[in-house]
Homo-oligomer: A and B are copies of this chain.
Amino acid sequence: MTGLEKHSMTPHATGNPPARASRQQVETGRPKRMGGPPDFDADFRGRLRDLMIWRRDVRRFRREPLPDGALGRLLQLACLAPSVGLSQPWRFVIVDSTARRDAIKQCFKTCNAEALSDQSAERTSLYARLKLEGLDDAPCQVAVFADRSTSQGHGLGRLTMPEMIQYSAVLAVHTLWLAARAEGIGVGWLSILDPARVADILEVPPGWAFIGYFCIGYPKDECDTPALEQEGWEARRPLSEALLYR
Is A158 in the interface zone, CB < 8 Å from B?
A: yes
B50 close to A38 (CB less than 8 A) = yes
A48 close to B45 (CB less than 8 A) = no
In the bound complex, CA of A86 to CA of B156 (Å): 33
Oligomeric state, in number of copies?
A: 2
Chain A residues with a Cβ closer than 8 Å to the other chain, count: 122
Interface centre among A96, A178, A242 (most CB of B within 10 A): A242
B153 close to A88 (CB less than 8 A) = no
The residues of B that contact A237 with a CB separation of less than 8 Å are 88, 152
A154 contact from B91, B184, B234, Cβ within 8 A: B234
Q: Chain B nearest CB: distance from A167 CB in Å?
A: 5
Q: Known contacts A85-B233, A243-B92, A244-B94; is A40 also within 8 Å of B33 by CB? A: no
In the bound complex, CA of A174 to CA of B155 (Å): 22
The residues of B that contact A61 with a CB separation of less than 8 Å are none
Q: Using CB atoms, name the residue of chain B closest to A152.
A: B234
Q: Known contacts A45-B14, A174-B174; is A224 also within 8 Å of B88 by CB? A: no
Q: Using CB atoms, name the residue of chain B closest to A43.
A: B17
A17 contact from B46, B154, B224, B242, Cβ within 8 A: B46
Q: Chain B nearest CB: distance from A18 CB in Å?
A: 9
Q: Using CB atoms, name the residue of chain B closest to A94.
A: B245
CB contacts under 8 Å to B, within A131-189, are 132, 143, 152-161, 163-164, 166-167, 170-171, 174-175, 177-179, 181-184, 189
Q: Other than the known A21-B46, A37-B54, A48-B178, what 18 A-B pairs have Cβ atoms closer than 8 Å?
A: A19-B46, A29-B53, A36-B222, A38-B54, A55-B82, A76-B239, A82-B174, A86-B235, A88-B242, A92-B239, A94-B243, A95-B246, A115-B159, A118-B159, A120-B154, A130-B156, A161-B193, A174-B174
6 closest cross-chain pairs (CB), A and B: A15-B42, A86-B234, A19-B46, A52-B80, A37-B222, A20-B46
Q: Which A residues contact B (CB, under 8 angstroms)?
A: 2, 4, 14-17, 19-21, 27, 29-31, 33, 36-38, 40, 42-55, 57, 72, 75-77, 79-82, 84-88, 90-97, 100, 111, 114-115, 118-120, 123, 127, 130, 132, 143, 152-161, 163-164, 166-167, 170-171, 174-175, 177-179, 181-184, 189, 191-195, 202-204, 210-212, 222-226, 228-229, 233-239, 242-246
